[in-house]
Structure 1
Amino acid sequence: MELSALSHLPGADESRADSLLKEELSDFCRKIVVLDDDPTGIQTVHGIYVYTDWEEQTLLQAFEAQENMFFILTNSRSFSAAETEEVHRLIARRIDAAAKQTGKEYIVISRGDSTLRGHYPLETDTLRGALGGLTGTDFDGEILCPFFLEGGRYTIENVHYVKDGGTLIPAGDTEFAKDKTFGYHNSDLTAYIEEKSGGTVRREDCMAFSLEELRFGDIAALTGKLMSAGHYRHIIVNAADYTDIKIFCTALIRAMKQGKNFIVRSAAALPKILGGVPDQPLLGPSSLFPHPGRTGGLVIVGSHVHKTTSQLEDLMNSHQARTIHFMEFQVDAVFKGGLEAEASRILASAESCLRAGKSVVIYTSRQLLIPEGADKDAILAASVSISDALTSIVSRLTVKPRFILAKGGITSSDVGTKGLSVKKALVMGQIKKGIPVWLTGPESKFPDTPYIIFPGNVGDTHTLREIVEELS
């Protein structure tokens, strides 16, 4: 489908959607708890805190805070299925305990990848069972909404698309669907749910909110449709514009006020709207660096998707490349027992360059030669080991970089939590569409440092180069 086809969709009344949503949010008092399976789910928000652990005291602090929404970085996309289930049961118990202690109602959003990768439906099914057992009620439905405008992800007639240049490609036909750990075949979300559930949910049993319904904007009818859901109905939200999400969230809030309970599986767009987070301009150097610094910036590229490789090549071939020190981290060392030596080699050179005021780009070699017969868990374990080695470079640094940028989900999570030891970070906003920035907390290795979290599947060919040029 050509991108121009979006212009032929029914029109959306944005001002009316804004007015209706604002009215419903004015007395919506549920705490919004977003469980993020990697650090990129904050790519639409600002002024929100991210917590990197789920200790009882941490969650109590988050529930007591004045903000109506907070994120918990689980990084579960790097977990095995068994570990994911165990962690989500534990988090569910602690969320419910904190809510009861503070006397607050809540809704849980499982923030997943906009290209449909991740432990789905394991995470939402686990939350349903654990939270349902704690509260004594079942959930009326699970809402699936992978729309993410900033990344070019649209759902039209139940088919989820990924923007590539001027073309919308069905998600099942992209490289993301061929993921060795989280691959899938179906782009139609009803069929995707049936596929990922192993057939326990039939596609014909799913409920869908079409673009026509949402853009017609009959809130009473939309709310009534949600009120009719029960027995954990699977609900798909079509969306091609933020207005569609605003109308749906208006109906969702009304339904929740009337006693309905849902678990949400969404990309980054829906939490922003449900949380009432306003738009703000993209961040620039003056916002990120209130004080001058003399050290260079550190860029770590771990993602191996084609888009990331193209972005890295564009940076390496740019005029700016003459002022940057590039180092290739040999990932095949993972199968030869040499990751520690490889990390030490990179560290020594990086420290010297950073201290001299030169920015450094550390990138993993673009191909991992997987041994024949390796299963999904072995491949995931190798990826985690490589990320741990990259992270150790950050944790062993003695020079504070002017900024840090990490490319890729697992990489950016490990750099933030293990390398920088961040426990609580403020989301400053975005430096480019869909590319968020943390301000590291006082407990971290390098306090008050802008940490740029660059998803592997976001941006165009020139985005990485533009960021590095702007900040160097």
Structure 2
Amino acid sequence: MPLEADVLAAFPAEVQIPARLVADSVAASSEASPRVLVVLDDDPTGTQSVANLPVLTRWEVADFAWAFAYEVDGQRQRAVYVLTNTRSLDPAEAAYRNEEIVRNALAAAAATAGTDEGALRLSFVSRSDSTLRGHYPLEPDVIAATVTAVNGEATDGVVIVPAFPDAGRVTIGGVHYMRGTGADAGTLTPVAETEFARDASFGFANSEMAKYVEEKSQGRFAADSVIVLDLNIIRAGAAAGDPAISAKAIADAIESATDSTPIVADIVTENDFRALALGLEEAESRGKKLLYRVGPPFVRGRIGQEVRTALTSEEAYEGNTPSEAGGLIVVGSHVGVTTRQLNALTEQHSAARIVEIDVEKLLGDNAGEYLDETVGTVVAALHEGDVIVHTSRLLIRTDDAAESLRIARTVSAAVVAVVNRTLKTFPPRFVIAKGGITSSDVAAHGLEIRHAIVRGPMLPGIVSLWEPVDGPAKGIPYIVFAGNVGDDQSLADVTRKLSSTF
């Protein structure tokens, strides 16, 4: 494994860029016609890097109207998240959902034409996994085609930015890496050599992003046709300490993009995100029409939002009175780090009741009866304190991708049923959902959240708190915790902040 310092030695130092510089640039470009990023988030964990933004789990025109009207300190927000959950869908379902969301968003934006500010301009972000899992290139393809069908606007380039430095994912020299932890701190592992590349539904073989694009597009985009914005371009202004030089270099490099040309960006730091944002602003001011396929922190950098410090225990409950019930921690992810986090939590939180959902029983003939028993156990335990509900750690594998998704859906539906029936019987103090598909289904169906506000992170940059603003879970802190982020103690750390018994 290469050392990060050695890989970075070939490139310039980062350019120091305050978030305000990006925010001012975005504001200036929105003066004549306000612009909003519509983020189609293929699981809810994409919100973990932002704060005070609206999030939808439904996408009717009226839902977008609510989100577009949401203001903080009298200002309309620059981005809206839509929880698509498409990573749990097959390609045809994912395509249909992307198209439906884009059409409804554009319709809602068109309806703002008579307002004082004028009609909203929308830019679309296809938010996916920082370890490269998900429906690519299908989702940006569908978004681009739908925009063209609705308003005739063609997409020049698809900007691909999977980096997530807060969680140890960085792109250097066009290669996507995972940072080592513990004894391996300081090292980089190409992402194709990690467990994520062996995903049953979305596996891949290439860490070099241009080759990844060629692999996933089945040769439609050759590797040598991909524009790579490496750190020499992102940090072009380093010698002069001038972000404008970087912005121009990025816009110049994108100039040739046409017909959805893939554009890959190196990112190692928050300053790199901000440099990229300024460059994209410059490119769009020249007339380039861009879509984005990104990891979680891109939106924060793109709109010039400051990095939000982690919420305190008091901030997590601000404006709401916490219930006397225990909290509900739901764990569905099966990646190695989740299992280690679960083990650490159960070892340290001796007061918590542990309820395992046996996946084999869920797939058996008496699944309904088994679910009834599980709900009864959880509700009784919540009267005494926190409850940790997790699926059995034995992952049932199949070589059939469709069958893998079917099993995942069956398990997720059971988890949702447990959460929903528990909520309506004895509402918990808080809910933590661990895992992308798990947290999506728990939000939309288990807690019946339709509209929520992302308040900010529970841990720096990697775990977000949603405040539901409607439905039976209104006022209950909901913690969205990706399966593949954090160290072994992270789940325990978040639970400790929220619990009254830990």
Contact 2:23–2:305 (8 Å) recurs in 1: no
Please point out which of 167, 175, 183 is paired with 2:195: 175
How many residue pairs match? The answer is 465
Deviation of the 1:19 alpha carbon:
6.1
1:73-152 equivalent positions in 2, closer than 5 A: 73-102=83-112, 103-152=119-168
In structure 1, distance between residues paired with 2:204 and 2:86: 18
Contact 2:234–2:249 (8 Å) recurs in 1: no
The equivalent of 1:214 in structure 2 is 234
Aligned residue identity for 1:187: S
Tell me if 1:13 matches 2:43: no
State the SS of the aligned residue for 2:176: strand
Please point out which of 369, 373, 377 is paired with 1:345: 373
In structure 1, distance between residues paired with 2:277 and 2:93: 32
Please report the TM-score for the alignment, with normalisation by the length of structure 1.
Answer: 0.95
Please report the TM-score for the alignment, with normalisation by the length of structure 2.
Answer: 0.89
State the SS of the aligned residue for 1:27: helix
In structure 1, distance between residues paired with 2:19 and 2:370: 53
Q: 1:224-256 CA deviation, whole Å, 9 max, x = no partner?
A: 222332222110000111111111110111221
1:257-272 equivalent positions in 2, closer than 5 A: 257-272=285-300
Change (3 A) 1:326 1:161: same
Aligned residue identity for 1:72: V
State the SS of the aligned residue for 1:114: coil
Aligned residue identity for 1:439: E
Deviation of the 1:88 alpha carbon:
1.3
Contact 2:12–2:235 (8 Å) recurs in 1: yes
Q: 1:11-50 CA deviation, whole Å, 9 max, x = no partner?
A: 11214x6464244123132211100000000011111010
State the SS of the aligned residue for 1:107: strand
Aligned residue identity for 1:394: V
1:35-46 equivalent positions in 2, closer than 5 A: 35-46=40-51
Tell me if 1:461 matches 2:463: no
Deviation of the 1:90 alpha carbon:
1.4
The equivalent of 1:402 in structure 2 is 429
State the SS of the aligned residue for 2:411: helix
Change (3 A) 1:136 1:292: closer
Aligned residue identity for 1:419: G
Deviation of the 1:451 alpha carbon:
0.4
Contact 2:158–2:292 (8 Å) recurs in 1: yes
Cα RMSD of the aligned pairs, angstroms, is 1.6
In structure 1, distance between residues paired with 2:19 and 2:36: 21
Aligned residue identity for 1:391: V
Contact 2:310–2:459 (8 Å) recurs in 1: yes
Tell me if 1:155 matches 2:171: yes
Aligned residue identity for 1:148: F
Change (3 A) 1:182 1:292: closer
State the SS of the aligned residue for 1:317: helix
In structure 2, distance between residues paired with 1:404 and 1:465: 14
In structure 1, distance between residues paired with 2:300 and 2:40: 14
Contact 2:455–2:467 (8 Å) recurs in 1: yes
In structure 2, distance between residues paired with 1:260 and 1:7: 30
In structure 2, distance between residues paired with 1:324 and 1:113: 31
Contact 2:15–2:272 (8 Å) recurs in 1: no
Contact 1:50–1:425 (8 Å) recurs in 2: yes
In structure 1, distance between residues paired with 2:428 and 2:46: 24
State the SS of the aligned residue for 2:474: coil
In structure 1, distance between residues paired with 2:489 and 2:198: 25
Please point out which of 244, 253, 259 is paired with 2:281: 253
Contact 2:316–2:477 (8 Å) recurs in 1: yes
The equivalent of 1:53 in structure 2 is 58
In structure 2, distance between residues paired with 1:459 and 1:136: 43
